[in-house]
Structure 1
Amino acid sequence: MSFRSLCVYCGSSPGRLPAYTASANALAEAMVRRGIRLIYGGAGIGIMGAVADRVLALGGEAVGVIPKALAHKEVAHAGLTELYVTASMHERKMRMAELADGFVALPGGIGTLEELFEIWTWAQLGFHRKPCGLLNVAGYYDGLLGFLDHVRAEQFVKPEQRELLMVAGDPETLLTRYAAYQAPPTKQWLANDET
């Protein structure tokens, strides 16, 4: 598949550890080296602002999508290549999905998790055939990954569904896997295997 744009979900806060912002910078650098355009939530603060700032500083493209109601609260980034202002969060997420060839979550809070789980669910349902994953910085997602393994062991998530969510500790590894990604055959996995 042609991989030209990556949707990055991440926090509007910098978080506790400097490693979180460092990972945003490293991802931005890897994206620009590969000619990958950033699609993200449009804020100029926190990890969101850091990844956009680094992409732009290196001459890459950064496209933001932000709901009108959050443009002030999340401080919409003023220097982006493009900024889409949407009427709602639902419209924001749909627009980001349309613009992106893949999705990754850096450290973030409830919003980051909600966006990641929704886009992963869409992949599982066959609504898109794009790679989804986590950049597990400084073990940030270790607890979540342990829980997801528990969910799989308890047979609420099938192994094929779990494998749709790729995980790496560094951007180069993740982007290499994304570039080679082949979506599995489209199928809706139901608990009782009925289709």
Structure 2
Amino acid sequence: MGESTRMIDVEKLISYSDDLVEVLKDKRDINNLTQCFQHFNDLRSHCDADSNEVHRLLREYEEKIEACKEKTEQAKLEVADGAEMEYLQKEYQEELEKEPVSSEIIELERQRVSIEERKKNLRKYEQDKLKEQRKLSMYASITNIIPDLEDQSRISGRILLIKYYFPLHLVFCFTLKVVCMLLYKDSP
């Protein structure tokens, strides 16, 4: 049975060969076949060129896709997730709230320094005033005259009269102005 199939195949092959020889004997058929073969080769070269171009473009697009994937991964790594973004936003808001507070603290510190300077100047003024009072008291106790320091153009003062009564001493200050004409600032 194997030989009969083989025989049939050989018979078909011989029949096909005979048909082909008959076709090739005709000149017009050979020209048609040559033309078809030439068209086939042209079509094949065009298809190969198109295929190569498509493969090249495909490789370029794959490279671009990989580059985009890498950029996307890098961007995902750089961009914080939602919880971290909320934390950063909250921290930023706290910093914004601290900024006016710190400027207020600076302003209050400046005011505190100014107040301390004023207190220091006031203490110095009070000490100077106390010194002047003591000086005036010393003048009065030695000379029984209180100098008038307000008018610097002339030497003047008030005479103190002290009266003694039984156990108590009473000091009366009369506002008699004693004008000493001995010295003037403008005089030679």
Q: Give the TM-score, by structure 1 length.
A: 0.18
Structure with the higher helix share, 1 or 2: 2
Q: Give the TM-score, by structure 2 length.
A: 0.18
**Bigger RCO of structures 1 and 2 (CA < 8 A, at least 6 apart):** 1
